[in-house]
Structure 1
Amino acid sequence: MSSTLDLYRRVTALPQGKRLFSVLYGQKAPYFASIHMSVEKMRPHLGQVVIPKRRSVKNHIGTVHAIAACNGLEAAMGLLAEATCPPDMRWLPKGMDVRYLAKSTTSLTCVAETTEADWAAAPDVPVRVKAVTTDGTVTVEGAIHLWVVPKRP
């Protein structure tokens, strides 16, 4: 089990644990903190965060900015990758292909998903991602491509 997944399981078992883990994970990369996300789920093949609709993530028309959504998608993917990547391997994002499908008018749930078959195709591992509004509208969808290779000694 990855140290991040182990930390997630230990911290989220505590009162206010999800909130605490979200803050800790938001500090892992400074740009994660900029979206004020809440980590909702972390397990093998699934990562999920929520980006609240607030002034700091809005664009000039008052919707959640597309790049803030992509930031949330990358955060969700990181949770998934940390929980799924075999301990003798390492992962690096090598690209993101996304489509903006609708205005993000509410808070967004950002979801990243894979299957065992996706990971069997390593070193190229596609992670399906989507951002969804509170009414179920998919506003952004696509894939983040990972490069999964053995760790160097």
Structure 2
Amino acid sequence: MANANKLSGIVNKINKLPDFARSRALTLFFGKVVPFTGTAGIRIESLTHDGCVISIANKRRVQNHIGGVHAVASLLLAESATGFLVGLNVPDDKVPVIKTAHAEYTRRAKGDMTVEARLSEEQRERMRTEDKGDVSVPVIIRDSENKEPIEIEMIWAWTPKR
């Protein structure tokens, strides 16, 4: 795929690194671009134009009062995974913005958390060709027991840069 934007070009170069270095390089890069992700300790496992997988360790700095990953930290995971993915696909003359974040906490999360976000080819094509619009980015959050303790919907919009 042709580079949709500068971010896409950088991520494409990082993705050419050997497997052992790729995740660390993506994590360090996005930690500089979006400092809060670095502060929270988010790890980017993989990032391509159609999918993003990130994780967070259940460490003290992100825990709630019962020792699990804090609700807001889980939302940060979902927002980051979907945002990195949308940012990779929106051309440089448009700006992506989060429009809606809806979370339903259905059970207690256990241990580390992993988020997987995906975009369809149709969604990616809309981002490349439509001047403005929005998409619901499918996202799944799993805990260390591979259960899905939170149902999340993230809607991202894009508009022309001013």
Query: Considering the TM-score relative to the shorter chain, is it more than 0.5?
Result: yes
8 Å CA contact retained: 1:31, 1:71 = no
Which of 138, 158, 161 is the aligned partner of 1:148? 158
User: How big is the shift at 1:75?
Assistant: 1.1
2:64 maps to: 59
Please give the alpha-carbon distance, in whole angstroms, between the structure 1 residues aligned to 2:155 and 2:135.
Answer: 6
**CA–CA distance in structure 2, aligned partners of residues 17 and 129 of structure 1:** 22
In the alignment, the residues of structure 1 paired with residue 48 and residue 114 of structure 2 have an alpha-carbon distance, to the nearest angstrom, of 16
1:110 matched to 2:110: no
Deviation at 1:87, TM superposition (A): 4.5
- 2:9 maps to which of 6, 9, 18: 6
Match of 1:76 among 71, 78, 81: 81
TM-score (norm 2): 0.81
Moved over 4 A (4+): none
Which amino acid in 2 is paired with 1:72? L
Aligned equivalent of 1:90, options 78, 90, 95: 95
- Counterpart of 1:29? 34
Partner Cα separation in structure 1 for residue 9 and residue 71 of structure 2: 31
Unaligned ranges ≥5, structure 2: none
Deviations 1:38-72 (Å, cap 9, x if unpaired)?
11121123121111111111111011111101111
Query: Please, what TM-score do these two structures have when normalized by structure 1?
Result: 0.85
Contact 2:110 2:145 in 1 (8 A): no
Percentage of pairs with the same residue: 22
Q: Could you say which structure has the higher strand fraction?
A: 1
CA RMSD of aligned residues (A): 2.1
SS in 1 for 2:111: coil
Could you tell me which runs of 5 or more consecutive residues in structure 1 were left unpaired when the two chains were aligned.
Answer: none
